[in-house]
Structure 1
Amino acid sequence: MNSKPIAIMGVFAIDLAFRVNRLPVWGETVLGSEFRLGPGGKGSNQSVAAARLGAQVHFISKVGSDNFGDIARRTYKEEGVDTQFLFSSDSDTTGAAAIIIDEIKGENAIVITPGAANALTTDEIDLARTQIAGSAVFMTQLELPLPIVVHGLNTAHGLGVPTILNPAPACALDDTTLALCDYLTPNESEAEALTGRRVASLEDAESAAGQLLARGVRNVILTLGARGALVKTSSMTVHIEAFNAGPVIDTTGAGDAFNAGLAVALSEGMSLEDAARFGCVVAGISVTRHGTAPSMPRRAELEQYKQASYKK
């Protein structure tokens, strides 16, 4: 097992999750069946998940000097995530996300405000160069301002550290940015935003992934929800089935679980195909539970599924 850590740059946001039987329309109020508050934000969720899977994690972000920021630091202390580069802002509030969950299907709609994380600077990222250089992989997302994301990718790329970009929430990216991505992990809607191609089938997914490879990405892992994931490189195309760990309760954070699993597996030297299978197992377990960070499984839980889910 590789002892190198993982560097993750992203957002911490407090998740305010509401379970409802349908979304309200503008001007309407609907009654919810449940409310939960907990730690969230894609980078934060991925950090917690990777730590629970046994990785040493350096998390690069910024929170406010407020109660939500205190929750962030307490969470990382409990989960064993390094916070040397979790900066504080006295003038910005910690990020927050409103999550609406379909109480029957477990599907979700999310609005996030990154808050203090939007004030993360390139100079602060540069303070973590030594830790990034010593990491097995560097992973980030698109909840931070794009120039900050690009600076992080550029830094890792220049240091020879493999990069993972989880392009969420969806937005257009130029070829220069895509060329900084060793691994790109869009879902269907994100792939459509990047390529202009609707992803409704495996053939669509393969076509979109091929277009992204042609634009400079070295490996594309397109996540397909209940259909699993499609892995495409210059030399292979593999469809990996989703892992069924039980009834789906909440899909919020499934993508973060997958990305964390992928990063940890790659850091341990697994092949890309096996790493994607590992990510599917992590995601498959997470959707059987409520919440984002709280739903992330621990490494010991995966061992019981090992034989059924992936083979070396």
Structure 2
Amino acid sequence: MLSSCLYHNLFSAKALYFIMKKLSRNERLAVILKLLNMHKELSNQKISTLLAVTAKTVRCDLVQLEKDGLVKRVHGGVSQSEGVDIKKYSLDAMLAELLDRSILNDSMALDSNQGRLIKMKHNVFVLGSFNVDIVANLARFPQPGETLHSSSSSIGAGGKGANQAYAAAKNGANVSFMTKIGTDQFSQFARQHLSSTGIDNTIILESSTSPTGTALIYVSEQAGENMIAVNEGANMTLTDDEIHSAKQHIINAQLFLTQLETNFDAIKLAMSIAKDNGAKVILNPAPYHQRTLELLPLVDMITPNETEASLMTGIEVTDLDSAKQAAIAIHALGVTSVVITRGSDGVLLYENDQFTLIEVLKSAVVDTTGAGDAFNGALVAELARGSTLHQAAKYANAYASLAVERLGAANMPDGSLVAARLNA
């Protein structure tokens, strides 16, 4: 029996099935290597059954492991390559980590009368962009006309939609993510990244005329701040017909989250579908769009930063008092809950005519790129779990404080780390 003692000592068969369905691609690869260390050779069918994935997924995983020199593929199966150090691939540690993320507690409930696990609905639909981030790290930002030498550069995954969906998935939400990319040198990169995130369902559309979106990012090593220029590319070609094709996924969601890096009219249509079918609609109005106010009748909760709140209201947000004035003004436009993220000054909540201030948590800031995305993804995951706005924003604030300690917008931390940060 494959690992029967290990697995069944920890979980029931059904619990294990749901855990395996939650594994990201990298986690699946670690599981396969650990099993090969114990059994030396496995059939593709056995791996498919154990990991609760298709035979095609298994083949793709094994191709990657063989490419990395970790396994040898044989007819109908696979064996471990000689000399592979398996100690760093600890299945026991991985399963413990999955429990720490509360996958069992948050995604399932134990029916004590029936003695079985029941899948619970914490569905989040995220509509948004996928961009390729081209990042240059500099000692400081250049002045106009100035050329500076970059200490390092990189190409990574990004886009507000993809980042927020990834963050929500890392915090235990059942996520469907819809995006649009080009048919270019970056399209396969996009697919590979999204397949490794743990997002439950990705709806990837392709444009034959526009490139995959890109973001050019300067990161100041001195301040840890960033400057970003985005070319939305295929993100802006999303059509009404494509939105209607995903209607059933939108209808099934409890919460609908979007930003403004995709085609505005398509965003508005998707928000209308979500609103009409009882989903709570959350808008992160970034980057600011001149038609943003058109969307507010469809919005239940909005999460601007200080700049976006200023542009929405005409009130220059420079301190707590002006942030409160802006929050009241946004609420007067029809939005029930207002969440203004204020960077190093924390987060301001306005709901039920009451203000709540959440103070920033201490962190070793490395890169603020994607901090807002981390906040929004964690926020929606907690709301889906049933938390109050205050509880969810406090959690999301802590999660964002972990995200800024990492390089790269899409380098999202595990939700299991939040408790320690909150208790520090």
TM-score by length of 1: 0.94
How big is the shift at 1:247? Answer: 1.1
Q: Distance in 2 between matches of 1:236 and 1:173?
A: 28
1:289 pairs, out of 394, 397, 406, with 406
Quote the residue 1:298 is aligned against.
414
- Superposed CA deviations along residues 37-71 of structure 1, whole A, max 9, x for unmatched, are 11000001101111111212111111112231211
Q: Is the 8 A contact 2:136 2:218 kept in 1?
A: yes
- Structure 1 stretch displaced more, 172-181 or 47-56: 172-181
Quote the residue 2:186 is aligned against.
68
Larger radius of gyration: 2
Quote the residue 1:206 is aligned against.
324
1:216 is the counterpart of 2:350: no
Quote the residue 1:93 is aligned against.
211
One-letter code aligned to 1:303: A
One-letter code aligned to 1:147: D
Q: Distance in 1 between matches of 2:365 and 2:199?
A: 28
Q: Which has the higher contact order (CA 8 A, sep 6+)?
A: 1
One-letter code aligned to 1:110: I
2:134 pairs, out of 4, 12, 16, with 16
One-letter code aligned to 1:288: E
Q: Is the 8 A contact 2:215 2:230 kept in 1?
A: yes
How big is the shift at 1:175? Answer: 4.5
Q: Distance in 2 between matches of 1:214 and 1:273?
A: 20
1:67 counterpart SS class: coil
1:188 pairs, out of 306, 312, 316, with 306
2:169 pairs, out of 51, 66, 90, with 51
How big is the shift at 1:83? Answer: 4.8
Q: Is the 8 A contact 2:301 2:339 kept in 1?
A: yes
How big is the shift at 1:3? Answer: 3.0
Quote the residue 1:81 is aligned against.
199
Quote the residue 2:262 is aligned against.
144
1:161 pairs, out of 279, 290, 294, with 279
1:255 is the counterpart of 2:372: yes
How big is the shift at 1:277? Answer: 0.5
Q: Is the 8 A contact 2:383 2:392 kept in 1?
A: yes
Quote the residue 1:113 is aligned against.
231
Which ranges in structure 2 are unaligned for 5 or more consecutive residues?
1-105, 107-119
- Structure 1 stretch displaced more, 170-179 or 90-99: 170-179
Distance 1:175 1:253, change over 3 A: closer
1:293 counterpart SS class: coil
Identity across aligned pairs (percent)?
A: 37
Query: Relative to total residues, which structure has the larger helix share, 1 or 2?
Result: 2
Quote the residue 2:253 is aligned against.
135
Q: Is the 8 A contact 2:138 2:221 kept in 1?
A: yes
- Superposed CA deviations along residues 143-184 of structure 1, whole A, max 9, x for unmatched, are 112212211211111111001100001233464411211110
Q: Distance in 2 between matches of 1:148 and 1:281?
A: 32
Q: CA RMSD in A?
A: 1.5
2:196 counterpart SS class: helix
One-letter code aligned to 2:381: V
Q: Distance in 2 between matches of 1:16 and 1:164?
A: 28
